[in-house]
Amino acid sequence: MKTHDIQRDDLDPKALILVGLDSCVIGVDQNMWLVYDYYKLVLFFMERDGMTREDSVSWISYNILCICPARFVINFSGTFGENE
């Protein structure tokens, strides 16, 4: 399923949607919760807010990973890329 094919009505009503982070969604899981790519999140905040990688990781840890993780999924299997 491509991310642009995901419809809000298809998601579990309890699924947490991180507003403004659609570009970091890589799919849905078996519970119909959004799956966010951790590395895309890090890069998103680096680019949008001009954060360093360390600041972005810290911000995500404090503001995203600590909130009800049972309602969305973060995928940690990617990489930052060869140039990062």
pTM: 0.81
DSSP code at position 81: -
Structural domain boundaries in the chain: 3-10+23-75
Report CA-CA distances (Å) from 21 to 6, 82, 83. Answer: 14, 23, 23
Q: Answer yes or no: are the C-beta atoms of 24 and 7 closer than 8 Å.
A: no
Query: Which among 54, 2, 45, 52 has a CA at the least distance from the CA of 20?
Result: 45
Per residue of the chain (84 residues), what is the pLDDT tens digit? 555 688 989 999 988 899 999 999 999 999 998 999 999 999 999 999 999 999 999 999 999 988 866 777 888 766 665 544
